[in-house]
Amino acid sequence: MSKKIHVQTNINGLDVDLLCESRQSLLEVLRDVLNMTGTKEGCNDGNCGACSVIVDGRLIDSCLMLGVEAEGKEITTIEGVAYTHGLHPIQQSFLENAALQCGICTPGFIVAAKALLENEPEADEGRVRHWLAGNLCRCTGYDKIVRAVLDAGKTMATQSKSES
Amino acid sequence: MVSTAENKTQYKVVGTRPIRHDGLEKVTGQARYSADINLPGMLHGKVLRSPHAHAIIKSIDISRALALPGVESVITSADLPQPSGRVADLGEGAMMNPKFLSNNVLASDKVLYKGHAVAAVAAADQHVAEEALGRIDVEYEVLPPVLNAVDAMKEGAPILHERLYTAENPFVRPGGLRDDSDPEGGSNVASHFVFELGDLEKGFAEADVVVERGFRTKAVHQGYIEPHSATAMWNRDGHVTIWCSSQGQFAMRDQSALILDISMSQIKVIPLEIGGGFGGKTLVYLEPVAALLSKMTGRPVKVSMSRQEVFEGTGPTSGSFMKVKMGATKDGRITATTATLIYEAGAFPGSPINPGVQCMFGPYDIANGRVEGYDVVINTQKTAAYRAPGAPAAAYAAESVIDELAEKLNIDPIDFRVRNAAKEGTRRLTGPVFPRIGYLETLEAAKNHPHWSAPLEGPNRGRGIATGFWFNGSGPSSATASVNQDGTVSLVEGSPDIGGTRAAVAMQMAEVLGLPAEDVHPSVGDTDSIGFTSTTGGSSVAFKTGWASYEAAQDIKRQMIERAAYIWDVSAEDVDLTDGVFHHKSDPELRFTFKELAGLLLETGGPIVGSAAVNPGGVGGAFAIHIADVEVDPETGKTEVLRYTALQDVGKAVHPSYVEGQIQGGAVQGIGWALNEEYFFDDEGCMTNSSFLDYRMPTSLDLPMIDTVMVEVPNPGHPFGVRGVGEVPIVPPMAAIANAIKAATGVRMTNLPMSPGEVLKALWDSEESKNSD
């Protein structure tokens, strides 16, 4: 058993202290150390996007980052997307557009969409398809996912206008 | 878009689009899938896999692995009971020779493919377990592998199973072994059979045009995003609990019991959410391994596969070699057809050759035909079911030849199909006679669709169509529902929900009870909590479990009518349920809403639970026609799908959004199969593209929107007219795209996938032959 390292990080707005091995990926740390199993493993080599998380504002595959690299970072996972008293517009849009079937890729898609729409709520179909090309879905053929993300973008654009 | 073919009953819930019951858990990350189980004191397992495609296991030495700190147990097939080679019928669709099933989980005397499981380790964490795998010393005697069916059928080919004999009856499950006393040697052909109808010679004599073509398709994987994982706890009293995701918790229970040689009632399988299956999660792989490791260690053990293990150790679907010959008259009437289909089963018998043969010419009324099928074992992964098992490859061959016939006769390809369309009363080549089906209505909808008449602008573009048939499945299914005092109903059903069937099943109950869909709360029960339910497969769940739910609702309705009658002191015959209100047929004063009566149950005689266990007949087949527009880049050979429309007879769409989703998902898997996906093997039989980087499934960037048209020709065999919908959409895409490529380039592609390199080669070959003419 290798020696464990103390890591201080921030996950979904909460400061977290954890111990992990230097060989453990952030994905493993989330799932196996912190029991945050909403982030999924589909390939463990950066090709499916099921483990998407946002680190310091940047969308990444958590299987490609080491847990120890989380030191001092701010991380958003699927568990941190919903509001305290309601769903995020992207989550709501996925439900209303029936944009999931088995649901295993859904957390990754929602996190990826969040990383896009928070900066570009008016992204068009081409941009959405390009952005989501790192997330594999085998059930839906992407049609309803793309529609859900476009719809959520409209909602978010309206919301940010009414807020400003 | 829903196209209504005939007047139908109007429903209140069936046909609407409520938010699915399990949706919230799935968009928030709360839903628990197979690998999301973490138990106190849990160990982690890993499986050692064969580096060779064909070898005898001379010896296995586990001592160095056991000596590694943190390693708790190492098992091999020597720790499993060795079941007999007698074929057992354990369930639909899959080979069930217990010896083969067991040997696929852990190899005994021989390894039969690269990736074949040989041993397993339980350790403190997965890294230690992985390290331990490298310390298991296996001595192999490497044998020459045989890597395709044509080679495997040759005289003198390496034989995989020394005692395997060729079954000659399509209705006998392949995989029988000869007795040791039988001097005959083994064969790689596990099954060979023929279906014949009419007079072939006469049929071909009547033909004005005959087309004959050969086709080759490669193995492709189901590609579910969730890798297999199983967690087991072998309790001290001999009872085992297994947490896993699968398409059938009862199938996992029964197969595990067979392999572990314990009674099925000693095992409880708790179904977790399933992250995609498409047929590939119908067989046990890890469940018995996790159970045995738990037995050895007295602790819960979780075993999960990596993506590479999923590719190398679980079932893709068969590669195939096919030949089709078909004749037609000048006026476009098919007079005769023959076909030979050779399907590669992988290391153990049981390719989907039978459904492939049965569905191949399903859309057509053909008087004279002969179809011959072979199930052949080779040194690759044991194949597993994949969406409409067997039908897509067969349809690729059949629909390519039909396209060529229509082209030669200068007849519109939809019209050509209309002239030969199967309808109610048509006898299929393989025997059965169709009940009411909606093939003609679907063809009509395609003909009238704006896509069919839209101009194709620009060079190198082409449009193709193809049709497909899948017979759909049924099977035993159970449902239990309890009325809550607040007027809702908790429904427990036995079918794992892969793509929204909880909603479709709950909606059928809500319809009967006059409740909103949201007031029926569905969940999937474990094997101790719900009656036997056959596997989620064959597009059966909305049909069979929908039916169980319908019957359980009828049971509730009957009991609640009796209760209302008891409270009112009237005869139950005078009470009815209409739109969610129990009422006396002649006294308008006597009425209870469902909720009012539900609130009175405990004080008027006790709770009400409805239940049903069914095994319904009356399955209605499904037909689809797809229209594809493509552009082929003459420089690179890359095919881009520009526009795609999938039309399908869906019977009655219970939740239209999820029916559309099934159609879109199936079409896109078919597009992947058509253009990119294949298993690459080196000469030694090692898969060389076992990652999502190199096994190229379609991404959002590769596709247009997938338009769907749901034609509704209700199935007279189901209370709400339901037909299965999930599988037939993967049947037409390969031929539709091949036919579109032909239209775009003039080149007919007879091998799958039609990857850029293959298309380019075909373009060059065609140039060369033109130049040499």
Q: What is the DSSP letter of A32?
A: I
Structure confidence at residue B52 as a pLDDT band (50, 70, 90) = very high
Give per-residue pLDDT as tens, A85-117: 999 999 999 999 999 999 999 999 999 999 999
Distance CA B270, CA B267 (A): 10
Query: B53 to chain A nearest CA, in Å?
Result: 23
Q: Do A144 and B657 touch (CB under 8 A)?
A: yes
- Residues of A with CB below 8 A from B705's CB? 143, 146-147
Is B156's Cβ below 8 Å from some Cβ in A? no
Q: Judging by DSSP bridges, how do beta strands B2-4 and B706-712 pair with one another?
A: parallel
Q: Which of residues 59-78 of B touch A (CB under 8 A)?
A: 69-70
Residue B572 to residues B551, B569, B593, B616: CA-CA distances in angstroms? Answer: 19, 9, 16, 28
Residues of B in contact with A148 (CB under 8 A): none
Are B343 and B356 in contact, with CB atoms under 8 Å apart?
yes
Q: What confidence tier does A1 reach under pLDDT thresholds 50, 70, 90?
A: low
Residue B339 Cα distances to B91, B429, B733, angstroms:
28, 11, 20
Please determine, for residue B306, whether its predicted confidence score (pLDDT) is greater than 50: yes
Report the distance separating Cα B402 and Cα B361, nearest Å: 10
Going through A22-144 in order, the beta strands assigned E by DSSP cover 52-55, 58-61, 74-76
**Tokens for B405?**
């016939």
Bridge partners, residue B206, by sequence: none
* B594-609 average pLDDT score: 98
Topology of domain B145-433, CATH: Aldehyde Oxidoreductase; domain 4 (3.30.365)
By CA distance, what is B496's nearest residue in A?
A102
Would you call B640 helix, strand, or coil by DSSP?
A: strand
pLDDT class for B92, splitting at 50, 70, 90?
very low
Whole-angstrom distance, CA of residue B110 vs CA of residue A161: 67
Residue of B661, B698, B700 lying closest to A101 (CB–CB): B661
A146 lies within 8 A of chain B by CB: yes
Asked if A78's CB is within 8 angstroms of B29's CB, the reply is: yes
Whole-angstrom distance, CA of residue B641 vs CA of residue B464: 11
Q: Does A114 touch chain B (CB under 8 A)?
A: no
> In angstroms, rounded to a whole number, what is the distance separating the alpha carbons of residues B563 and A93?
42
Q: Of the candidates A50, A98, A130, which has its C-beta nearest B225's C-beta?
A: A50
Decide if the complex's ipTM is over 0.85.
yes
Task: Give B713-730 pLDDT, tens digit per residue.
Answer: 999 999 999 999 999 999
Which residue, among B750, B625, B692, B581, has the nearest Cα to A51 in the 3D structure? B692
Mutate to test the interface with A, among B26, B126, B641, B694 (most CBs of A within 10 A): B26
Nearest-CB residue to B658 (from A31, A91, A98): A98
Out of B17, B307, B658, whose CB is closest to A43? B307
Q: What is the mean pLDDT of the segment spanning B378-397?
A: 97
Chain A contact present for B427, CB below 8 A: no
pLDDT digits (tens, 9 = 90+) for B655-667: 999 999 999 999 9
| Pick from A42, A43, A141: CB nearest B668 | A141
Do B307 and A32 lie within an 8 Å CB cutoff? no
Q: For residue B378, give the nearest of B188, B156, B107 by alpha carbon.
A: B188
Q: How confident is the model at residue B84 (pLDDT cuts 50, 70, 90)?
A: confident
Contact B692 A136 (CB under 8 A): yes
Contact B147, B380 (CB under 8 A): yes
**Among B4-8, B54-58, B204-208, B511-515, which is the least confidently predicted range?**
B4-8
CB pair distance less than 8 Å for B498 and A87: no
* Secondary structure percentages of chain A, helix, strand, coil, to 5: 40, 20, 40
Strand stretches in B579-714, DSSP E: 581-584, 591-593, 609-614, 622-632, 639-649, 706-712
B-chain residue closest to A143, CA distance: B705
Q: What is the CA radius of gyration of chain B?
A: 27
Going along chain A from its start, the domains and CATH numbers come out as 4-80 (3.10.20.30), 89-163 (1.10.150.120)
Return the closest-CA partner of residue B53 out of B679, B686, B682, B681.
B686
In angstroms, the CA B411 to CA B403 distance is 10
| Angle ∠(B57,B260,B478) on CA atoms, nearest 5 | 135
- Residue in A1, A42, A87 closest to B226 by CB: A42
Across the range B41-58, mean pLDDT stands at: 98
d(CA B301, CA B351): 32
Those residues with Cβ within 8 angstroms of residue B269's Cβ, 6 or more apart along the chain or in another chain:
B241, B242, B243, B244, B246, B249, B250, B252, B253, B256, B287, B526, B527
Confidence category of residue B3, pLDDT binned at 50, 70, 90: low
Q: Which residues contact B457 (CB under 8 A, 6 or more apart)?
A: none
Can you name the CATH fold of B474-614?
A: Aldehyde Oxidoreductase; domain 4 (3.30.365)
The Cα A134–Cα A132 span in angstroms is 5
* Mean pLDDT of the B55-76 span: 98
Task: Return the axis-axis angle of helices B541-568 and B501-513, rounded to nearest 10°.
Answer: 30
Average pLDDT over residues B83-101: 68
B175 and B375 Cβ atoms separated by less than 8 Å: no
Count A/B contacts: CB-CB distance under 8 Å: 187
Measured CA to CA in angstroms, residue B568 lies from B279, B513, B583, B591 at distances of: 51, 20, 10, 9
Report the gap between the CA of A163 and the closest CA in chain B (Å): 25
Tell me the residues of chain B between 678 and 717 that have a Cβ less than 8 Å away from chain A: 691-693, 697-701, 703, 705-706
Q: Residue B93: is its pLDDT beyond 50?
A: no
Half-sphere exposure of B334 (CA within 13 A, CB side): 33
Identify the closest residue of chain A to B31 by CA–CA distance.
A38
- The domain locations on chain B are 1-31+435-472+619-773, 145-433, 474-614
Rounded to whole angstroms, what are the CA distances from A84 to A81, A87, B26, B169?
Answer: 9, 8, 17, 62
Q: Do domains B145-433 and B474-614 have the same CATH topology?
A: yes
pLDDT tens readout for residues A64-89:
999 999 999 999 999 999 999 999 99
- pLDDT of B191-242, one tens digit each? 999 999 999 999 999 999 999 999 999 999 999 999 999 999 999 999 999 9
Convert the pLDDT of each residue in A13-58 to its tens digit. 999 999 999 999 999 999 999 999 999 999 999 999 999 999 999 9
- Fold for domain B1-31+435-472+619-773? Aldehyde Oxidoreductase; domain 4 (3.30.365)
For chain A, what's the residue count? 164
Query: Is A1–B124 a contact, with Cβ atoms under 8 angstroms apart?
Result: yes
Tokens, residue B245: 């995701």
Radius of gyration of chain A (CA): 16
pLDDT of residue B7: 46
Q: Which two tokens stand for residue B252?
A: 């996992």
Suggest the residue from A102, A110, A151 to mutate for an interface test with chain B (most B CBs closer than 10 A).
A102
Q: How far is B51 from chain A (nearest CA, A)?
A: 21
**Paired residues of B139 in beta bridges:** B59
